[in-house]
Structure 1
Amino acid sequence: MAAASTTGASSSSALSNSLTLDPAIRTWVLVPISLAMFLIGVIRHHASRLLATGPRKVELKAVRESQAVMRASRLRMNHAWISREASFRMRRAFFNDKKEGVLQQKVKNNNPQAQMMSDPSMMQDMMMKNMSMIIPQSLTFMWVSFFFSGFVMAKAPFPLTQKFRVMLQRGIDISGSLDVTYVSSLSWYFMNMFGMRGLFTLTLGEGNAIDDTALMQQQMEQAGAGMDKANAFVMERENLELIEARDGMVYEKAEERAAKVLKRALRAR
Structure 2
Amino acid sequence: MAEDLVLDTAIRDWVLIPLSVVMVLIGILRYFVSKLMRSSQVPDPKIVKEGQVIVRARNLRAGANFIPPKSFRSRRVYFSNEENGLLFVPKGQAQNAQAQMFSDPNMAMDMMKKNLSMIIPQTLTFAWVNFFFSGFVAAKIPFPLTQRFRSMLQNGIDLSTVDVSYVSSRSWYFLNLFGLRGLFSLILGEENAMDDTQRMMQMSGFGFDPAKETHGC
1:119–1:180 Cα change, 3 Å: same
- Residues 1:192 and 2:185 aligned together: no
Deviations 1:124-168 (A, max 9, x none): 111111111222111111111111000011111111111111111
Which of the two has higher C-alpha Rg? Answer: 1
- The answer on 1:33 being equivalent to 2:19 is yes
In 2, Cα distance between the equivalents of 1:61 and 1:186?
42
Letter of the 1:146 counterpart: F
Structure with the larger RCO, 1 or 2 (CA within 8 Å, 6+ apart):
2
Aligned-residue offset at 1:79: 8.8
Runs of 4+ with deviation above 6 angstroms: none
Q: Does 1:202 align with 2:204?
A: no
Query: 1 CA distance for matches of 2:11 and 2:196?
Result: 34
Paired residue for 1:182?
A: 166
Equivalent AA in structure 2 for residue 63 of structure 1: K
In 1, the alpha carbon distance for the partners of 2:183 and 2:102 equals 36
Normalising by structure 2, we get a TM-score of 0.70
Q: Scaled by the length of structure 1, what TM-score is found? A: 0.58
Kept in 2: contact 1:40–1:136 (CA 8 A): yes
Q: Is the 8 A contact 2:138 2:167 kept in 1?
A: yes
Paired AA for residue 158 in structure 1: F
Give 3-state SS (helix, strand or coil) of 1:57's partner: coil
SS of equivalent to 1:208: helix
Distance 1:179 1:123, change over 3 A: same
- Structure 1 spans left out of the alignment, 5+ residues: 1-12, 82-91, 232-269
2:71 to 68, 73, 78: 78
Q: 1:34 to 1:130 in 2, by over 3 A?
A: same
Alignment map for 1:158-169 (pairs within 5 Å): 158-169=143-154
- Give the letter for the 2:100 counterpart: Q
> Following TM superposition, by how much is the alpha carbon of 1:208 offset from its aligned partner in structure 2, in angstroms?
2.1
Q: Decide whether the 8 Å contact of 2:201 with 2:207 is kept in 1.
A: no
Contact 1:112/1:225, CA 8 A, preserved across alignment: no
Name the SS of the counterpart of 1:158 in structure 2. coil
Give the alignment's Cα RMSD to 1 decimal. Answer: 3.7
1:131 aligned onto 2:124? no
Retained in 2: the 8 A contact 1:112–1:224?
no
Q: How many residues are treated as equivalent by the alignment? A: 187
How far apart are the structure 1 equivalents of 2:121 and 2:73?
Answer: 55
Query: Which consecutive residues of structure 2, in runs of 5 or more, have no partner in the other structure?
Result: 61-68, 212-217
Give the Cα–Cα distance (whole angstroms) in 2 for the partners of residues 35 and 118 of structure 1: 39
What one-letter code is carried by the residue in structure 2 that aligns with 1:26?
A: R
Identity of aligned residues (%): 51
